[in-house]
Amino acid sequence: MSTFDDGVRAAAAPYSEWFLKVYDLWVVHLSNSWAWRCHRRNFLDLYAAHLGARHLEVGPGSGWALAHSDLPAGTEVTLLDLNPNSLAHTRRRIDERAAVATIRHDVFAALPDGTGPFDSVAIHYVLHCLPGAWPTKSGALANLAAALDENGTLFGSTVLGVGPRRNPFAWALTEAYNRVGAFHNRTDDLPGLEAALSASFHSVQVWVVGNVALFVAREPRR
């Protein structure tokens, strides 16, 4: 196993069954509001605007966003993650409201044959966990673009490591998470994110709230 593969697995490793029970409190409520300064409402607004009938959720975490979003009758949700705990936890939260499939998979690898096409792909708080600089992370975005319908939309968010001023709480979390391998975002900046998205999409929108970059990308390049 390569050092790079170790980094991918290290980023997925923290999501134990215990951590997923406190994820909503620690990440969604406390960290978002007080460290990253990006209220959880920002994420729900993205789902309300862009979630499609055939949806791929990459790195679902605890499934909080899907659990708090409207899932119209007939919605098909595919969950993709390396961590089986996250897949199972999220599935339990939404299983009665959507047709749910799970894929245990590395986002740096092309999606399995027969996966997709999807009307929407969400990748929230995943890019800052992936090892490598933007040219490397752009490979994951290219794999997701390939799984989108030509009229589909990719949306998501990531904590920037460079650019917006960090408060002491954000600084402490960023340093600690990078040291243990949960984050790999020391060089993640806004121009790099825009370039990585633009490499796979013709239409890209990116904006910053606090220390978080939110984005919407359309018209996947073929």
The domain that holds 116 is classified in CATH as 3.40.50.150
Residues with Cβ < 8 Å from 51, sequence gap 6 or more?
69, 70, 71, 75, 120, 122
Above 70 in pLDDT, residue 1? no
Does position 170 have pLDDT exceeding 60, yes or no?
A: yes
Mean pLDDT of the chain: 94
pLDDT at 22: 95
pLDDT of residue 17: 87
Model confidence at 3: pLDDT above 50: no
Q: What number is the average pLDDT over the span 85-107?
A: 97
- Percentage of the residues of the chain whose pLDDT score is greater than 90: 92
Using the predicted structure, report yes or no on whether residue 97 has a pLDDT greater than 90. yes
Confidence of residue 101 (pLDDT cuts 50, 70, 90): very high
3-class secondary structure, 152? strand
The boundaries of the domain holding residue 8 are: 3-220
Peptide bond into 84 cis (omega under 30): no
User: What's residue 2's pLDDT?
Assistant: 47
Q: What is the pLDDT of residues 10-66, one digit of tens each?
A: 555 667 888 999 999 999 999 999 999 999 999 999 999 999 999 999 999 999 999
Q: What's the confidence (pLDDT) of residue 6?
A: 59
Task: Name the one residue in this structure whose structure tokens are 């605890």.
Answer: 62
Overall average pLDDT of the 147-166 stretch: 98
In total, how many domains does the chain have?
Answer: 1
Buried b (16+ CB within 10 A) or exposed e, 185-208: beebbbebbbebbbbbbeebebee
The predicted pLDDT at position 16 comes to 84
